[in-house]
């Protein structure tokens, strides 16, 4: 029996990052207050900007939070906090990934990143960035993961 | 928005909480067609009960915001199952079982770009459904290994026939696995890690 046949592909040139696409998107003028923040450093941490992003580009990039960014609460929920913020703060008393928060809260990933951006701005939570492939200069991380898997 | 009242939210069980010393996470993506066993593999090696993160995708064009929330758009919910393995008290590994269709990948920014690598799970009864996935990973430069999930009634091809049919470079590992078995799934992940390690060694010697 002969299996079906595929043809190999090769790395293609990177598309411009979604941010740049967003800035040139014709529909982007619908948002308010985004002109002043456009293109500046740290704009992804600006909650107002994020709301604009979330509303304007469903499926686009929303925040610098990864699925496996670890979130840790560093304060008790303020008495006036909305219920979803309080729930988030209670959940991440111990470190928890954004993906787990999304799962436990039963909220889409994009919505959780918006809520978390508010909490990060208010300094109620800390974010611990993931180790991503591009930043792997040494082999020690890979070796640590292999060692951990061998223990399973 | 459908938000559960905080009384009904069940967080992680006590034994599923990560230690406070956990500093960072890494991720591996398990990608393949519908029903190929992604969730099974995630579940067999995960230390937590597999969880699901969802994202909503609308069919409206990018940049259109005036009808946000209106009923005229068709929304599709795309779910992704994931699991977790503690590596050390400072490092944790997450495994994501990801739909094979590339249009879903954009829903989770950095899903592949930030991952250590990917396991492409294939079913020899439907080999062709994996062609596009493999091509997309090649285009994105994401390192991957092939794991043949051994379904009892699936045709068995010699590994080299599979390599030829999938047009894979000679260095890309192809392994058989039984996604239901923890040891087998773990060995598949180890194959990926050894492959990544060899890539780093090659890079370092250039």
Residue B48 lies in a domain: yes
Contact A109 B1 (CB under 8 A): no
Residue B122 lies in a domain: yes
Domain carrying residue B148: 21-62+75-205
Contact A57 B62 (CB under 8 A): yes
Q: Quick one: what percent of chain A has pLDDT higher than 70?
A: 63
Q: Which residues of B are less than 8 Å from A109 in CB distance?
A: 53-55, 107-108
**Would you say B54 and A109 are in contact if contact means Cβ atoms under 8 Å apart?**
yes
Residue A146 lies in a domain: no
Which of B121, B124, B22, B141 minimizes the C-alpha distance to B81? B121
Residue B152 lies in a domain: yes
The tokens for A131 are: 């180790």
Domain carrying residue A100: 43-130
Q: Which pLDDT score, from 0 to 100, does residue A40 have?
A: 47
| Total domain count, chain B | 1
The tokens for B15 are: 């034994």
Name the A residues in 122-151 with CB < 8 Å from any B CB: 128-134, 136, 139, 141-150
Q: Which pLDDT score, from 0 to 100, does residue A51 have?
A: 41
Lowest mean pLDDT across A44-53, B56-65, B120-129 = A44-53
CATH number at residue A90: 1.10.10
Residue A38 lies in a domain: no
**Residue A130 neighbours by CB under 8 Å, 6+ apart:** A66, A68, A69, A70, B24, B25, B26, B27, B114
Q: Is the pLDDT of residue B94 over 90?
A: yes
Mean pLDDT of A12-28: 54
Label residue B59 by pLDDT band (50, 70, 90): low
Annotate chain B with DSSP letters as a single string. -----GGG-----GGGPPPTT--EEEEEEEEESTTSSHHHHHHHH-SS--EEEEEEEESSPTT--TTTT-TTSPEEEEEEEEEEEE-SSSEEEEEEEEES-HHHHTTSTTTTTTSSEEEEEE-GGGGGGGHHHHHHHHHHT--EEEEEE--TTS----HHHHHHHTT--TTS-EEEE-TT-HHHHHHHHHHHHHHHHHHHHHHHH-
Q: Quick one: what percent of chain A has pLDDT higher than 90?
A: 46
Does residue A84 sit at the B interface (CB-CB below 8 Å)? Answer: yes
Q: Which pLDDT score, from 0 to 100, does residue B72 have?
A: 52
Residue A75 lies in a domain: yes
Write the DSSP symbol of residue A126: E
Residue B41 lies in a domain: yes
**Residue B133 neighbours by CB under 8 Å, 6+ apart:** B31, B32, B33, B100, B102, B120
Q: pLDDT, tens digit, for every residue of A43-68?
A: 444 444 444 333 333 343 344 899 99
Q: Is the pLDDT of residue A33 over 50?
A: no
Q: Which residues of B are less than 8 Å from A58 in CB distance?
A: 56-58, 60, 62, 68
Contact A105 B114 (CB under 8 A): no
Q: pLDDT, tens digit, for every residue of B1-10?
A: 556 555 577 8
Label residue B104 by pLDDT band (50, 70, 90): confident
| Total domain count, chain A | 1
Q: State the pTM of this model.
A: 0.80
Interface test with A, best of B19, B20, B41, B62 (most A CBs within 10 A): B62
CATH number at residue B85: 3.40.50.300
ipTM of the complex: 0.87
Mean pLDDT of B52-67: 64
Residue A84 lies in a domain: yes
């Amino acid at each position: 029996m002969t299996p079906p046949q595929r043809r190999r592909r090769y790395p293609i040139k990177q598309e411009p990052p979604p941010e740049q696409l967003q800035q040139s998107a014709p529909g982007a003028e619908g948002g308010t207050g985004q002109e002043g923040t456009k293109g500046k450093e740290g704009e992804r941490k600006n909650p107002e900007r994020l709301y604009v992003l979330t509303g304007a580009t469903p499926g686009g990039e929303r925040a610098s939070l990864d699925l496996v960014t670890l979130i840790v609460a560093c304060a008790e929920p303020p008495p006036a906090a909305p219920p979803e913020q309080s729930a988030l703060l209670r959940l991440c008393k111990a470190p928890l990934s954004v993906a787990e928060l999304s799962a436990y809260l039963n909220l889409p990933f994009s919505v959780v990143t918006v809520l978390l951006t508010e909490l990060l701005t208010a300094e109620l939570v800390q974010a611990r960035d993931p180790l991503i492939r591009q930043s792997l200069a040494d082999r020690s991380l890979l070796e640590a993961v292999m060692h951990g898997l061998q223990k399973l | 928005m459908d938000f559960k009242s905080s009384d009904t939210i069940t967080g992680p069980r006590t034994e599923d909480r990560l230690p406070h010393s956990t500093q960072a996470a890494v991720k591996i993506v398990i990608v393949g067609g519908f029903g190929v066993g992604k969730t099974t593999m995630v579940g067999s090696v995960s230390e937590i009960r597999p969880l699901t993160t969802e994202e909503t995708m609308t069919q409206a064009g990018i940049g259109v915001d005036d009808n946000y929330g209106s009923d005229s758009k068709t929304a599709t919910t795309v779910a992704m199952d994931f699991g977790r393995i503690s590596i050390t008290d400072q490092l944790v590994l997450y495994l994501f079982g990801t739909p094979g269709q590339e249009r879903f990948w954009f829903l989770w920014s950095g899903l592949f770009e930030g991952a250590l690598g990917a396991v492409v799970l294939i079913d020899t009864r439907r080999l062709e459904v994996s062609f596009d996935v493999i091509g997309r990973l090649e285009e994105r430069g994401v390192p991957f290994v092939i794991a043949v999930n051994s379904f009892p009634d699936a045709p068995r091809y010699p590994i080299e026939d599979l390599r030829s049919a999938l047009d894979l470079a000679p260095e890309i590992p192809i392994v058989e696995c039984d996604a239901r078995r923890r040891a087998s799934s773990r060995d598949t992940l180890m194959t990926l890690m050894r492959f990544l390690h060899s890539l780093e060694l090659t890079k370092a010697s250039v």
